[in-house]
Amino acid sequence: MNLAEEILTIGIAACGTMLTRFLPFILIPSNKPIPAFIQQLGKFLPPAILGMLVIYCYKDLPANLNLNALFEITAGIITALVHFWKKNMFLSIGIGTCSYILLLNFF
């Protein structure tokens, strides 16, 4: 791949990303109310995506739980507990990630 192809690829990816970000604002003007369907999506989609991410993270756990699997489960529980306690996504993800890394390196 030469430099021109790389620049073109990056440009196409950037335009595609911007299009998906700007399209809702183009299609629904700000002076109109948000349609009920979109409001329902905004209410139900984030928990559904989070549930899918949790399933994806734990789908490859072995049936006989080894030490690494227990570390993953423990870090997930710590992440959930911190999130329910502080209601801060960045804090819970950060502490969950740090706890997983600490468990991997010190046990």
Q: Helices 67-86 and 36-58, interaxial angle, to 10°?
A: 150
Residue 75: count other Cβ atoms within 10 Å of its Cβ.
Answer: 21
Which tens digits make up the pLDDT trace of 47-86?
899 889 889 989 988 888 898 899 999 999 999 999 999 9
Query: Taking residues 28-34, what's their average pLDDT?
Result: 80
What is residue 15's predicted lDDT score, i.e. its pLDDT? 95
Delimit the domains of the chain by residue range: 1-31, 32-106
CA 82 to chain centre: 17
Task: With a cut of 80, say whether residue 1 has pLDDT above it.
Answer: no
Do 99 and 75 meet the contact criterion of CB atoms below 8 Å apart? Answer: yes
Residue 79: count other Cβ atoms within 10 Å of its Cβ.
Answer: 21
Task: With a cut of 90, say whether residue 34 has pLDDT above it.
Answer: no
